[in-house]
Structures are given as structure tokens and as C-alpha cells.
Amino acid sequence: MKEIKIQVKNLDLFYGDKQALKNISLDIPANKVTALIGPSGCGKSTFIRTINRMNELIHGVKIKGDIIIDGQNIYDRNVDVVNLRRRIGMVFQKSNLFPKSIYENIVYGTKINGLRNKKALKELVEKTLTHAALWDEVKDRLNSSALSLSGGQQQRLCIARALAVEPEIVLMDEPASALDPIATAKIEELIHELKRNYTIVIVTHNMQQAARVSDQTAFFYIGELIEYDKTTKIFTNPSIKQTEDYISGRFG
């Protein structure tokens, strides 16, 4: 039995009176890639933001149900949210780099957490850029602006920055949607490598990408989890006709 990293039980989320997630329950395995697919506005991004409690930053949000990570309900009152978000890295659709050097983008979070040793910071930068398959491309210009990188490099730098604080889980919200096919392929290769050390949850509109990179796939539709299974099963022999219609392009 594969180890479960995240257990979601009976999760409901409301923006004011509008229910955005309806009774979601699923188990996300450790050291695997779980893809969330479904049409725009179906709750995929809302769902991954419940895993690091980012939805709480939005006025009027109400959340019911449980999300249990390593046996602890992250919505318990005594959970340290800052520490939780340190354990859960997040990569957004658009790279959101700081207007600072490549080096400063990587060390920013660890400096806030108190790491100041220059040798340790230098080692951290090399390690995380290597993990993000970027070290060889940028090692000679660490003091250059991060914004001088190409789009694909910027996105890999965002991934490196997320890894720098040593999370256990990495959430990715359409990390390759703004990239060309070559840059997208590099991000996909990287995701494949990273699951050795991290549990990854990725939102993607790209069906082929979900099929290529993920071990498990969850199909969301209008706030509901329609089907969740091994990716090979979802894409070759889904149990529910609605899933089959979406994957084959008959709706959505």
C-alpha cells in the first residue's frame, strides 16, 4: 500500500453564499504526482489553495471538512500557518519573481527564517538550482536580475525558490501554461525528477500533460470531484461517462 501524504475528507468551501467546492474527499499519495483536471472555474485552483490554507486570505471564505497531512488536521486551531506554508511550496501560473538577483530570489525565504551563513546560503543556491535543472544555465550570472531570464527559466527559478525552504509538498497551479513546448518539456522532466523527494499536486488544463506527468488524476467539474483514480485508468478506461466525455473533448 502506498503511503498517503494528504487526506481530504468532506471538504466544502464557500465564497460568501457561493459554494465553490462540494464534499471533496480523496487521498493524495506521497512521492507521486497528482494532477487536477477539469474546465475553467471548476474548483481546481481553489482546491489546491486549501492545502496550504491560502484561501483564508480571501474575505468571506468559509471552509468545512478536514485536510490531514501526516496525521494532523491542518485546519485545527493550534496549527502554525506560517510553518505549514513552509512545508508546502507553491508555484503559480505566472512566475512571480522578486525584482532582485537570481541569488536573492532563492535565499529570500531562508533568510527570513533566520539562515544567514554565507557558505550555507551559497550551497543552498547551488543545490536548489540543480534540483530545478537550472544551475548549469545560470551559475555564471547569479547576481543578474531574475527578470532577465527567459520565461521557462523564470518558472524553473520559481520552482527552485519554492524548494529552497525544504518543503515536503509542492503545489503547482498550471506551471507551464504560459510556456513554449521546449520550456514546457523541461518543466515536465523536472516534475518527474522532483517526485522522488516531494509530493506534487499539479493543476493543468493540458490533458496530454496530465497524462504524461501524473500518477493519479482527479477530474473536477463545477466544484465536485467526479472521478479520481490512477492516471492510466482515467485516460484509457474511466469509470464515469462524464470523465470520458471531458477527456475526449465532447464537452468542457
Confidence of residue 117 (pLDDT cuts 50, 70, 90): confident
Determine the pLDDT at residue 109: 79
**Burial annotation 25-58 (CB, 10 A radius, 16+ → b, else e):** ebebbebbbbbbbbeeebbbbbbbbbbbbbbeee
pLDDT mean over 114-128: 87
The helix-helix angle for 118-131 and 102-112 (nearest 10°) equals 120
Question: What percent of the chain is predicted at pLDDT more than 90?
Answer: 80
pLDDT one-digit tens code per residue, 20-42: 999 999 999 999 999 999 999 89
- How many CB atoms sit inside 10 A of residue 161's CB? 26
* Rounded CA separation 196/8 (Å): 22
What are the Cα distances from residue 78, in Å, to 71, 86, 252?
14, 16, 41
* Rounded CA separation 90/133 (Å): 18
Strand 18-29: give its sheet, edge to edge: 18-29, 4-15, 61-69, 72-73
Q: Name the 3-class secondary structure at 125.
A: helix
Amino acid at 65: G
pLDDT one-digit tens code per residue, 77-97: 999 998 999 899 999 888 889
Determine the pLDDT at residue 118: 87
β-strands 72-73, 61-69: how paired? Answer: antiparallel
Determine the pLDDT at residue 138: 96
- Asked which of 57-71, 104-118, 136-150 is least confident by mean pLDDT, the reply is 104-118
Cell 468551501 belongs to which residue? 13
Torsion, Cα 38 64 94 110, to 10 degrees, reads -140
Determine the pLDDT at residue 1: 44
Average per-residue pLDDT for the chain:
93
Start-to-end CA span in the chain (Å): 34
- For residue 252, pLDDT beyond 60: no
pLDDT one-digit tens code per residue, 179-226: 889 889 989 999 999 999 999 999 998 999 999 999 999 999 999 999
pLDDT one-digit tens code per residue, 45-54: 999 999 999 9
pLDDT one-digit tens code per residue, 156-165: 999 999 999 8
- For residue 111, pLDDT beyond 80: no
